[in-house]
Amino acid sequence: MESLRPAIERFLDSPGLSESTRRAYASDLRDFEDWLERDRRRLDDVDVAALTAYTAELGRGRRGLSPATVARRLAAVRSFMRFTLGATRVPETAIPPRRRRRLPDAPKLAEVEEIVDAAAGDGPLALRDGAILELTYSCGLRSAEVVGARLADVDFEQETVHVLGKGAKERVVPLGERAAYAVARYLRDARPHLARGACDALFLSARGRPLDTSHLRRLMRNPHRLRHAYATHLLEGGADLRTIQELLGHSSLSTTQVYSHVDARRLRRVYDSSHPRS
């Protein structure tokens, strides 16, 4: 049977895919290619029944992938088929399993302060890490946005940070007072000791190189929780969802609306404790 490898490579080389999507799809499509070969199917043979069978295999037995992973694999397969065969050849009735909505695990303010305080210190690396955590929480940044920040992105005069987000989408977010102080101190007292030649990355490693996202995971197991805290605390403070959507860089309001469910829990507690007929 003719190999799908050349067709997969052409699809992965298409300019519409981000680097992270390309890596994920490469793994997903290798699995799909292996499945087709085991079942002695050609891509042209893939119909609703075939996709249903593939979906069932992904979710059962030792593989037992989560609904979110199965949905992503099917999205990769459908995108590949659309690219290779055309939109009319992609089965429309094979529906990915419904993803279970998981409310963001947002740390309370006291926990955020504990996380930041744990990195406190006067050495260059401690000042750097404290500034990273303050900036992440103050601006609601993704890990990749933090390590991708450049020196020119922080505007102390305007108290803003320029952010290059997913899909090269740009946004400008306010810079909080504590984060501004932490970043300014890092730039004054720490970064000069870390720099090794010309590099415009805001945060540098001990060897003077740009950091990668693994560094944030060393500072806290799930740094994305600080972004959840940012959104949740804004909402609890009275910010509307549209504003939070812009600050987070979400392309769709539906992505941001998950935070309304988080806030609903707080509203319920307030209602139960204060309304005479609760």
- Per annotation, catalytic residue among 73, 128, 142, 191: 142
- Per annotation, catalytic residue among 78, 191, 225, 227: 227
Instruction: Check residue 122 and give its pLDDT.
Output: 92
pLDDT digits (tens, 9 = 90+) for 88-142: 888 765 555 555 556 567 888 899 999 999 998 999 999 999 999 999 999 999 9
Annotated active-site residue 108? The verdict is no
- Per annotation, catalytic residue among 72, 128, 228, 250: 250
Summarize the confidence of residues 35-51 as an average pLDDT.
Answer: 86
pTM: 0.64
- Per annotation, catalytic residue among 82, 166, 178, 233: 166
Instruction: Check residue 9 and give its pLDDT.
Output: 92
- Please count the CA atoms within 13 angstroms of the CA of 142 that sit on its side-chain side: 14
Annotated active-site residue 228? The verdict is no
Q: How far is CA 32 from the centre of its chain?
A: 25
Least confident of 107-121, 211-225, 263-277: 263-277
Summarize the confidence of residues 189-193 as an average pLDDT.
Answer: 97
Annotated active-site residue 261? The verdict is no
Residue 242 CA to residue 248 CA, distance in Å, equals 10
Instruction: Check residue 271 and give its pLDDT.
Output: 60
CATH architecture for segment(s) 109-271: Orthogonal Bundle (1.10)
Residue 218 CA to residue 222 CA, distance in Å, equals 9
Q: Are 127 and 121 in contact (CB under 8 A)?
A: yes
DSSP codes, 155-219: ETTTTEEEEE-GGG-EEEEE--HHHHHHHHHHHHHTHHHH--SS--BSSB-TTS-B--THHHHHH
Annotated active-site residue 169? The verdict is no
Q: Are 44 and 50 in contact (CB under 8 A)?
A: no
- Per annotation, catalytic residue among 82, 150, 178, 224: 224
**Domain residue ranges in the chain:** 5-89, 109-271
Residue 72 CA to residue 185 CA, distance in Å, equals 42
Q: Which residues pair with 264 in a beta bridge?
A: none
Asked whether residue 277 carries a pLDDT value surpassing 90, the answer given is no
Summarize the confidence of residues 217-229 as an average pLDDT.
Answer: 92
Q: Are 232 and 141 in contact (CB under 8 A)?
A: no
CATH number of 5-89: 1.10.150
